[in-house]
Amino acid sequence: MSEDKAAKKNRRFLTAWSILNLIGWIVGLCFVFLIQLNLEYDYKFSAQKTLLTWLPWGVGIGMFQWFKLRRLGVNLIVWAFVTALGFSILVTLYFWVLNFDSFDYWEYNIPDWIIGTGLVMTIPIGGAIIGGLQSVVLRKHISRLGLWIKACSLGLLPPVIVAPIAFLAKSLLLNILYSAELYTLVDMRWFLFLGFLIVISTAGISILTGDILLKQTNINSITITAG
Distance CA 222, CA 202 (A): 25
In a 13 Å sphere around the CA of 59, the CA atoms on its Cβ side amount to: 11
pTM: 0.85
Q: How confident is the model at residue 199 (pLDDT cuts 50, 70, 90)?
A: confident
Q: Is the pLDDT of residue 166 over 70?
A: no
Model confidence pLDDT, tens digit, residues 35-84: 988 887 777 888 899 999 999 999 999 999 999 999 899 999 999 999 99
N-terminal to C-terminal alpha carbon distance within the chain? 27
Closest CA to 135 of 84, 211, 79, 55: 79
Distance CA 165, CA 161 (A): 7
How far CA 219 is from CA of 14, 110, 150, 212, 216, in Å, comes to 11, 48, 20, 10, 9
Give the pLDDT of residue 17. 96
Q: Is the pLDDT of residue 226 over 50?
A: no
Distance CA 103, CA 71 (A): 50
Please answer whether residues 216 and 142 qualify as being in contact, where contact means their C-beta atoms are separated by less than 8 angstroms.
Answer: yes
Summarize the confidence of residues 178-182 as an average pLDDT. 65
What single-letter amino acid sits at 38? Answer: N
Summarize the confidence of residues 160-181 as an average pLDDT. 69
Model confidence pLDDT, tens digit, residues 119-151: 999 999 999 999 999 999 999 888 889 999 999
